[in-house]
Amino acid sequence: MRGKYSDSKILIYVFKPLTTMLLLGVAVAAGAFATTYGRLVALSIVFSLAGDIFLMLPKDRFINGLLSFLVAHVVLIVAFALQATGLSWWLLIPIAAGIGMYSALAPHLGRMKIPVVVYITVIAAMAWFALERWHLQGSTSAALAALGSVFFLYSDSTLALNRFRAKFRLADFLVLSTYYASIWLIALSVHRDWM
């Protein structure tokens, strides 16, 4: 975060991807390769790393970053859905949050309306599947992933508001702190003893 606020490209280029790589290491150390769920979580972190790299490049690669994170969320949906299925109406709250977010952004999106609505739908679905898994399993793993997914939803919502609606100084702190917290929690969720 210091790189963002000091406008130091070197700090950003070194520590942004390094932090995500370290979080991938957390997942691997927790046993990511021992289960299908863990391998999918690790794969989602790899796509998140690609998104990090695209978003920090000097030339605007927002669409590339958006696509990388979109794939990361789809992979997480598959991971969460493999372990739990069901439908609890109160877990549709992430979908309502997504609709609210799109409503707030729509007048400011221009030609980005369709990509953003697709992205919002996917990330809301990812949070919903994570919460559904927690609701059905009640395990520590499911709780960590659910909380991580909610943080991811919050981080991306803040990023979108800052990019499309109105820039605010605290945005980078809120986006990065909740983003890294989300990946850390989801990475920890692969621990076999907590499944």
Distance CA 139, CA 136 (A): 9
pLDDT digits (tens, 9 = 90+) for 174-185: 999 999 999 999
| C-alpha closest to that of 129 among 168, 171, 75, 61 | 75
pTM exceeds 0.95: no
Q: Determine the residue type at 66.
A: L
Q: pLDDT band at residue 3, thresholds of 50, 70 and 90?
A: very low
Tell me how far CA of residue 104 lies from CA of 81, 89, 113, 127, 152, in angstroms: 29, 24, 12, 19, 18
pLDDT digits (tens, 9 = 90+) for 12-57: 778 889 999 999 999 999 999 999 999 999 999 999 999 999 988 8
Stronger pLDDT, 76 or 172, i.e. the higher one: 76
Question: Encoding tokens for residue 109?
Answer: 């999106």
Q: Name the residue range of residue 68's domain.
A: 2-194
Helix runs in 57-191, H state only? 62-83, 93-105, 113-137, 140-160, 171-188
pLDDT at 9 over 90: no
Tell me how far CA of residue 177 lies from CA of 36, 94, 106, 130, 184, in angstroms: 28, 20, 26, 20, 11
| Total count of domains within the chain | 1
